[in-house]
Amino acid sequence: MSHEEKRHWERKFAVYSMGNSTSRLYSALAKTLSDGAVSKHQEYLEQTDPDLLDPIDPKDLLEECQIVLQKRPARLQREFVDLTANFARNHQPIRVMQWNILAQALGEGKDNFVQCPLEALRWEERKCLILEEILAYQPDILCLQEVDHYFDTFQPLLSRMGYQSTFFPKPWSPCLDVECNNGPDGCALFFLKDRFTLVNSTNIRLTAMKLKTNQVAIAQTLKCNETGKLFCIAVTHLKARNGWERFRYAQGSDLLENLKVITQEAKIPLIVCGDFNAEPTEMVYKEFSNSSLNLNSAYKLLSADGLSEPPYTTWKIRPSGECRHTLDYIWYSQHALKVSAALRLLTEEQIGPNRLPSFNYPSDHLSLVCDFSFNEDPDRLL
């Protein structure tokens, strides 16, 4: 960030000064406004101890993001659907958010969103749109894909809000082919330390036909501090593009085999979040549906029959035409866990004719958010 740019942001934030709290937040947020803020990410992370930094109140950070975004359209509003009919809840729900946030390098350099102005993709503001979406729903667990600003943005800020996190980059990230990239993209998993204790963490490089691939997953066993119960949360991002259906099937099968070991053949409840790059008609979807881990897809519960996936989770326009697909899922152990609420998707009218991303939505994928509760019947099978 140049001296002139820094003075611009100082003047802008001074207008909205709210005391010491704001000045602390400004220094945290402004530090991430420059793509070149961190040159050696791992060294930066090792030198930054979140316990030595002032905590951030999510409401204050949300206000700061809204100041940056004041010239953009207001955030698109979505409602939670209550799914708790005849369900007695005796512990605080676990809110899980799944989101492919769109890697900055890919959005600007490779993805060819022909109806999205380049100005809408500027990191200084798009970053705040991403944070605004996360802060609006305040997930207990956050599962992200296409994260290429983990070390200089999401880890520093979210750690100060009480999140512990893990990042696993792709071995050959396409972001690295883009000039002025910010490093490789990958999967990231965040959880609130006051709600959960990390028991085990596994980084998985997915295989297909016994060969290591460019796709990855993170699987963590957590203990719920309120109930003492264990569960496993996993995040992944499978291979994209048409013609790779068998490859995705092999990757999904490999992930399931790993998860069977981690959950001790389903003795530990499981939640799997991901951009599978696969429609419900694909083999990998059916493999998850029919797995011995007894998984169900949470967003099916929003359909009238409880059996159908949403009509889309991503909607964009590329040179080849309009791309409207259901690719993102939150799978869960359906006998051990219940979905007590789920966030509705944006409507076609809200998305608008130019589709995503846009000035008021930062990614080409919609976020999925669900509230989970443990089934209290100990005699039920997972």
Give the per-residue pLDDT at 14: 38
What confidence tens digit (pLDDT) does each residue in 10-41 have?
Answer: 443 333 333 344 445 555 566 655 444 444 44
Q: Could you report the per-residue pLDDT of 77-118, keeping only the tens digit for each?
A: 999 999 987 666 778 999 999 999 999 999 998 888 999 999
Domains of the chain: 80-374 (3.60.10.10)
R_g over Cα of the chain: 20
β-bridge mates for residue 332, sequence order: 271, 296
Residues in the chain: 382
- Identify the DSSP state of 281: T
Answer yes or no: are the C-beta atoms of 328 and 96 closer than 8 Å: no
Q: What is the pLDDT of residue 110?
A: 81
Longest dimension (CA), the chain: 65
Residue 76 Ramachandran class (φ > 0 left, ψ -120 to 50 alpha, else beta): beta
Cβ–Cβ under 8 Å, residues 217 and 235: yes
Nearest one of 269, 378, 282 to 331, comparing CA atoms = 269
284 has pLDDT over 50:
yes
pLDDT band at 376 (very low <50, low <70, confident <90, very high): confident
Q: Which residues of 358-377 are buried (b: 16+ CB within 10 A; e: fewer)?
A: bbbbbbbbbbbbbbbbbeee
Cα–Cα distance, 190 to 28 (Å, whole number): 19
Quote the pLDDT of residue 21. 44
**What is the three-class DSSP state of 95?**
strand
Contact 125, 68 (CB under 8 A): yes
How confident is residue 199, by pLDDT bands cut at 50, 70 and 90?
A: very high
- Only one residue has tokens 């866990």, namely 337
| Spatial distance between the Cα atoms of 129 and 49, rounded to a whole number of angstroms | 26
Query: What's the whole-number mean pLDDT along residues 319-348?
Result: 96
